[in-house]
Structure 1
Amino acid sequence: MDRLTTLDLFVRIVDRRSFTAAAADLGISRPVATASIKALEQRLKTRLLHRSTRHVQPTVEGEIYYHRCVAVLADLEDADRGASGAVAGLLRIDVSGYLARTVLLPALPAFLAQHPALTLHLGEGERYVDLVREGVDCVVRAGPLADSDMVVRRLGVMEEITCASPGYLAKHGVPAAPDRLDGHVMVGFVSSRTDRPLPLEFTVDGRTIEVMLPARVLVGGADTSAAAARLGLGLIQAPRYRFDDDLASGVLVEVLAEFPPTPTPLAVLYPSNRQMSPRVRVFVDWLVETIGPQLDRSRR
């Protein structure tokens, strides 16, 4: 294995905390990865990694060497891009499935045409993702963000609405105001952070109020939540763009439009403790240029 590939392997082992995962990323066997790192340590005459049956973590010397390797690899990638004018390699991102299908994918052919040597791995999820440990380059997330050491680039805000199915409204009535929701139920969307259902939000006289309604159905995914609302299982709040077709066809009906939920921010996050690679840079810049205007159009 050449020296640059060995550096890449070492960085991936530290990021992933796993020889097996790092070897799989590079398409090599675990024994080859182990032998390469052992040879690297012998050449440097220092131990770079603490190994146990469950964990791998860098030594003090390994941590210093790791940051230097990250910088070297990023500089090399920048140099390659400067010479060829192109970015290349595999870029791993994580984004909610519906957002990927409705906003990201339609614009993706043009992005890939600009960067023919770039490959995207799209992970779909709404759970917390440890970017470094899981080998993910960046994530696109909606809603308030917990404090972290991630770099955050704001993409825009999504207009939120409250809606329900015609069958639900025929049974429970059309609500007139947030303080007149007795007898109503909601589809309970369970937060991945708190493991509790989120309350409904309404804007009343310029301030935000929260209303917690009973929920016969609790869900942890946005697609399942929307499907439950279509089946008449409760009121739901979600970005308007999710329900354009449902509202147009009458499958769902917007209610309490004069008391809208607070808009939901959308952002892309990536690790702050690593030098930003050209792959991540061009993708993040493209997201800012592409998704932001789409969100603005959907709000209008």
Structure 2
Amino acid sequence: MTQVNTLVITGYGTNCEVECAHAAKISGADRVEIKHFSDLISGDTSLTDFNFLILPGGFLDGDDLGAAQAAANRWRHAKTEQGEPLLDQLKTFFTNGGIIFGICNGFQLLVKLGLLPAIDELYFERQVSLSHNDSARYEDRWVHLAANAKSPCVFTKGVETLYIPVRHGEGKIIAKDEATLAALQENNLIALQYIDPESGEVTQEYPMNPNGSPLGIAGLTDPSGRILGMMPHPEAYNHPTNHPSWTAGKTAELGTVLIKNGIDYLKSL
């Protein structure tokens, strides 16, 4: 059984790292560490010591210059104090079988880096982006999601629906053309979609779809299924009492099931 060593990256405005680390711990990770991005640069921390990377949400770089754009540039061009390009370390991490989960700003970082959706396995080539919500406001609410059973994503295996919170101002998927959207569908790279809880159908209607993303896209995966990025916050629903109607006896499957699935996948190797 593979030991699951989880690294949660923080810094530059990120503020959901403690929730993410807690979610990983209660989901069965053997080792969980929260490290500042600068620890990667100094060499105090190396991705080679981990097999699960979580890029949490929060106001990364204050969302200046566009959500996660500055962070993506940092990952692309930074070198460790030993002279190693940090991007090479990230590539090695993924090549060696590591899994990556980006939430909210972490999702934005993954698409800006080009790790998602990686259509035709073109990694580190930006194919989609994220822009301001159609509502032109910060959305803080709970949403219903459906998982794509045909998706290769290891995080969503066995998951049908989720009810978890969103809290973002820039969550609308923007594709460079219609062919890109078609490829997302054809290759089942759309892992999670916003749905109408009454009909169960994918929706673009506000507020069920809080940002106006086409095809109701709430989360994307890559062809390997080992990367998941999503705008809603599954780590924020880590106990039944987090549910907004728990006092009325209403609960749903915990959002942490996605993190547990990733951990279980690694342990099965």
Structure 1 length-normalised TM: 0.20
Higher helix share: 1
Larger Rg: 1
Structure 2 length-normalised TM: 0.22
With a CA cutoff of 8 Å and minimum separation of 6, indicate the structure with the bigger relative contact order.
1
